[in-house]
Amino acid sequence: MTNSALPTPDAQNVTTIDDAQSVMPDLPRRARILKTLRPWLKPKIVLGGTVVFMLVFIGIFAPVIAPYDPNGQNLINALRAPGWFSEPHFLGTDHVGRDILSRIIYGARISLVIAATVVVISGVIGIGLGAISGFFAGRTDFLIQKLVEVVWAFPPLLLAIAIMAFFGQSLLILIVALVVQRWIPYCRVARGQALSLRTRDFVDAARSLGASNTRIITRHVLPNLIQAAMVIGTFAMATAIIAEASLSFLGLGVPPAIPTWGSMLADGRTYISTSWWLALFPGLCIFFTVLGINMLGDGMRDLFDPRLKRSGQGMG
């Protein structure tokens, strides 16, 4: 994969900065930063990044931004249409008079926390198992790959639905249910990398210098996976948000007291014939969030490795 003329594959990431320094050594610091940043200034990345940034911002400052308590019921005000600027409830209220805008804002927080946790845990498990699988090969590899094959044989989301059905609603189980298949793409990439690296000269060299397996994996195998993991993680984030919303929509997500976009949509479906705003706004939020994250992932993939373009999307 990487050019063997390079001293170490990790150096590849740094080459742009090194080049910039060697070609234009007198370049002021600001210009150098700009030059490093330039490849990132693609419409997809900027647009997607803005959406993600806004989401994080809204999520963190939810208590400050939200005009009402997301769970504050007010039956007199139930099913009030969006008032835009003329009424107190900008996006209207739901069937028990809760403010839709406030619930959406808090929902962003929940969606983001769940999706990010799922992506990080999946990444750690997937990359860990993948690196071990590829590096040690043989029996370990066989066992891990069998596990991958079996878990991957389930249609995406179905296993999560089954887990939620049997173990009931809780945040912890939801995260487990979403991780259960999401570590696999990481594992595949990590295994491939580890397999191709284990026979390479620099790994032999490291070993002959007395480096332990753990050291070789953490110092030589893992750094090569960062870019791929970032791309996989971004797409996994998008699918995790949709999956979480789907489960909450089916009533299998987080406990009902926590406002999420998916459970808001479930209410929206019930009141669809009378109150369109219940279903429209949370759905729009999911759509634009996922769209933004997908664009970011797409942009990053184009940037890191145009050859990856063909591999389509992650999993739903």
Partner 1 sequence: MLSYIVRRILGTIPVILLISLLVFMLVQAAPGDPADLLLSDEATKEDIDDARKRWGLDQPIHVQYGKFLIAALQGDLGTSFRYTDPVVTMIVDRLPATIELAVVSILIALIVGIPLGVWAGARPNSWIDNVGSFVGFFGISMPNFWFGIMLILVVSGYFNLLPSAGRSTYGVGGPPITGFFILDNIIHGDWNAVRDGISYIILPAVALGTNMMGILMRVTRSSVLEVMHEDFVRTARAKGVRDTVVLWRHVVRNALIPIITVVGLELGTLLSGSIIVETVFSWPGSGSLLISAITSRDYPLITGTVLTYTLAFVIINFIIDILYGTIDPRIRFDK
The residue from 46, 250, 304, 305 that contacts partner 1 (CB under 8 A) is 250
For position 165 contacting partner 1 by CB under 8 A, the verdict is yes
Smallest distance from partner 1 to CB 143, Å:
12
Say how far apart CA 254 and CA 173 lie, in whole Å.
9
For position 280 contacting partner 1 by CB under 8 A, the verdict is yes
For position 168 contacting partner 1 by CB under 8 A, the verdict is yes
Q: Are 126 and 183 in contact (CB under 8 A)?
A: yes
Stretch that binds partner 1, among 54-62, 116-124, 190-198, 265-273 (CB under 8 A): 265-273
The residue from 105, 242, 296, 300 that contacts partner 1 (CB under 8 A) is 242
For position 59 contacting partner 1 by CB under 8 A, the verdict is no
Amino acid in position 172:
L
Stretch that binds partner 1, among 60-68, 78-86, 110-118, 247-255 (CB under 8 A): 247-255
On the CB side of 148, CA atoms within 13 Å amount to 21
For position 167 contacting partner 1 by CB under 8 A, the verdict is yes
Say how far apart CA 110 and CA 289 lie, in whole Å.
13
Q: Which is nearer to partner 1, 20 or 315 (CB)?
A: 315
Q: Are 67 and 76 in contact (CB under 8 A)?
A: no
The residue from 46, 195, 283, 304 that contacts partner 1 (CB under 8 A) is 283
Say how far apart CA 65 and CA 112 lie, in whole Å.
16
Binding string to partner 1 for residues 127 to 146, with x set by CB under 8 A, is what? -------------------x
- C-alpha closest to that of 305 among 199, 208, 192, 158: 192
The residue from 162, 176, 195, 206 that contacts partner 1 (CB under 8 A) is 162
Q: What is the DSSP letter of 99?
A: B
Contacts 24+ apart (CB under 8 A), 146-152: 148/184, 148/187, 148/188, 151/180, 151/181, 151/184, 152/181, 152/184
Enter the tokens of residue 244.
Answer: 């979480």
Q: Which is nearer to partner 1, 72 or 316 (CB)?
A: 316
Q: Are 281 and 100 in contact (CB under 8 A)?
A: yes
Total residues interacting with partner 1, rule: CB under 8 A: 48
Q: Which residues bind partner 1 (CB under 8 A)?
A: 146, 149-150, 153-159, 161-163, 165-168, 238, 242, 245-246, 249-252, 265, 268-269, 272-273, 276, 279-280, 282-283, 286-287, 290-291, 294-295, 298, 309-310, 312-313, 315-316
